Homo-oligomer: A and B are copies of this chain.
Amino acid sequence: MSQIWIENGLFITMDDAQPTFKGHMVVTDDRITYLGTEAPQQLAEGVQKMDGSKLAFLPGLINTHGHAAMSLLRGYSDDQNLQVWLEEKMWPMEGKYVDQDTRAGSALAIVEMLRSGTTSFVDMYDRMDQVALMVEQSGMRGCLTRGVIGLCPADVQDAKLAEAIAFARDWNGKADGRITTMISPHAPYTCPPDYIERFVQAAHDYNLPLHTHMSETITEVEQNVRDYGLRPVEHLDRLGFFSRPALVAHAVHLNDTEIGLLAAKGVSVSHNPVSNLKLASGIARVPELLRAGVTVSLGTDSVASNNNLDLFEEIRFAALLHKGVSGDPTAVPALEALKMGTVYGARAIWQQEDIGSLQEGKKADFIAIDIEQPHFYPKTDIVSHLVYSGSGRDVKHVWVDGRQVVRNGECTLLDEEKIRYEAQASFDRLLQA
């Protein structure tokens, strides 16, 4: 048994019953076993004590949409029209990927995420075995899925679906439960309806949740209406998509009926504000989604459209953007934005019993922020400070499943220098290949 006692920390729990307090936390093996203002009793022999007095402790952040391996393409193409970016830049480079590139890109992404306080991430890509291996090694938590584009002959469709199912089945619950899986048709505009129905059936057969891109651009919504006579939410609903636990990414262009349907079906949304701005996709109707009772979580999308994986930025954009757009300075208050990055993120990936808040009995996924910095002074409202002034760079330590994976800003289980070097080597090779 291993035990850590954090003394005199400032705990921002995301648990409404005890939201923020100065006190103590005990972690025993992989779980939080004590949280309170009084010093803990009955500690194990050899308990490791840690001075928390200059730190704020938060649940680890949860990034609910991304493509880690694309980290190799950071800065390769920016400020372009979507079609140029996608067809002339992203797809040709992605077409040249081999397993080593996927590992190199995923490793770079995982280092960046862990250092900036993200402890769980959703990843949708191909060569997912390689991503899963990196998750296993890094100590991070991942909800992984093979994203399938279905605009291909029937035999290729069959093979891709089989691969997606095999990955989801083989890796679910692996790495001491840190890895969970979903299955994913890439998007309604890249998968024919009958193919989507086969994913839905597989989700039932293997008891898996579903993830997809949905209504990211107005163009795809219009195309959906043209091709199928329905907007994407109703279209997916008809295909049975929402009969399973489902997480949809983007959901930028929604009408009121669609928002109501998402709420009624318990569908979660991954809001990706930075990516949606950078690609000029638009601005999601987040205040309306929240008011309707939809679980809205946050995702970075890949660095090719962001270009970083610091979830504090998504939290800040979520808090600021919707005020400016709605004209209402009370839209998406700081605490709500922070919940989107933590407790709502846990709910979006069906892990709210285990992660997303600091509570006795939950998994010990948490981060420590260095608050002795000018931008956190004077000490007033710590939630406001974290949301409006905080950054992933303020994260000093990170624990996942009770294990310290970042210490003093450096990953403990990964060789960061080697990972930077290998990412560069992969990128250079892709450029020349």
Identical copies in the complex: 2
Judge whether B424 and A280 touch: CB under 8 Å.
Answer: no
Q: Does A80 contact B (CB under 8 A)?
A: yes
Q: Please indicate the chain B residues that have their CB under 8 angstroms from the CB of A74 in the complex.
A: 375, 377-378, 380, 385, 389
Segment from A119-127, A153-161, A303-311, A397-405 that makes contact with B: A303-311
Given contacts A380-B74, A420-B372, contact A389 B329 (CB under 8 A): no
In the assembly, what is the distance between CA of A309 and CA of B328, in Å? 23
Given contacts A277-B323, A375-B308, contact A334 B78 (CB under 8 A): yes
Closest to A337 in B: B79
Q: Please indicate the chain B residues that have their CB under 8 angstroms from the CB of A112 in the complex.
A: 374-375
Distance between A72 CB and nearest chain B CB, rounded to angstroms:
6
Q: Please indicate the chain B residues that have their CB under 8 angstroms from the CB of A389 in the complex.
A: 74-75, 303, 307-308
Judge whether B111 and A329 touch: CB under 8 Å.
Answer: no
Judge whether B81 and A329 touch: CB under 8 Å.
Answer: yes
Closest to A379 in B: B424
Given contacts A74-B380, A111-B374, contact A79 B329 (CB under 8 A): yes
In the assembly, what is the distance between CA of A281 and CA of B321, in Å? 11
Q: Does A4 contact B (CB under 8 A)?
A: no
Judge whether B78 and A384 touch: CB under 8 Å.
Answer: yes
Q: Does A129 contact B (CB under 8 A)?
A: no
Q: Please indicate the chain B residues that have their CB under 8 angstroms from the CB of A330 in the complex.
A: 79-81
Considering only residues 267-322 of chain A, those with a C-beta below 8 Å from chain B are 274, 276-283, 303, 306-310, 320-321
Judge whether A419 and B374 touch: CB under 8 Å.
Answer: yes
Closest to A394 in B: B393
In the assembly, what is the distance between CA of A115 and CA of B276, in Å? 30
Q: What band does the interface of chain A fall in when counting residues whose beta carbon is under 8 Å from B?
A: 35 or more
Q: Please indicate the chain B residues that have their CB under 8 angstroms from the CB of A420 in the complex.
A: 372, 374, 377
Q: Does A324 contact B (CB under 8 A)?
A: yes
Judge whether B380 and A79 touch: CB under 8 Å.
Answer: no
Q: Please indicate the chain B residues that have their CB under 8 angstroms from the CB of A277 in the complex.
A: 320-321, 323-324
Contact pick for A307, options B72, B310, B384, CB 8 Å: B384
Contact pattern, A 46-82, Cβ under 8 Å of B = 1, otherwise 0: 0000000000000000000000000110111011111
Distance between A107 CB and nearest chain B CB, rounded to angstroms:
9
Q: Please indicate the chain B residues that have their CB under 8 angstroms from the CB of A71 in the complex.
A: 377
Most buried by B among A81, A280, A394: A280
In the assembly, what is the distance between CA of A276 and CA of B323, in Å? 9
Considering only residues 61-111 of chain A, those with a C-beta below 8 Å from chain B are 71-72, 74-76, 78-82, 85, 108, 111
Closest to A335 in B: B79
Contact pick for A108, options B331, B333, B374, B424, CB 8 Å: B374
Judge whether A108 and B280 touch: CB under 8 Å.
Answer: no
Distance between A332 CB and nearest chain B CB, rounded to angstroms:
8
Judge whether A378 and B327 touch: CB under 8 Å.
Answer: no
In the assembly, what is the distance between CA of A388 and CA of B274, in Å? 10
Contact pattern, A 399-433, Cβ under 8 Å of B = 1, otherwise 0: 00000000000000000100110011011100000
Distance between A20 CB and nearest chain B CB, rounded to angstroms:
13
Given contacts A324-B276, A329-B279, contact A306 B377 (CB under 8 A): no
Judge whether B280 and A323 touch: CB under 8 Å.
Answer: yes
Q: Please indicate the chain B residues that have their CB under 8 angstroms from the CB of A243 in the complex.
A: none
Judge whether B427 and A378 touch: CB under 8 Å.
Answer: yes
Q: Please indicate the chain B residues that have their CB under 8 angstroms from the CB of A388 in the complex.
A: 75, 78, 278, 306-308
Given contacts A75-B380, A278-B320, A391-B393, 17 further A-B pairs with CB under 8 A are A71-B377, A72-B378, A74-B375, A75-B382, A75-B389, A76-B380, A79-B330, A79-B334, A276-B324, A277-B321, A283-B324, A307-B384, A308-B375, A308-B388, A321-B321, A374-B419, A393-B393
Sorted from nearest, which 7 A-B pairs have the closest CB atoms? A277-B324, A393-B393, A378-B427, A75-B380, A307-B388, A280-B329, A308-B389
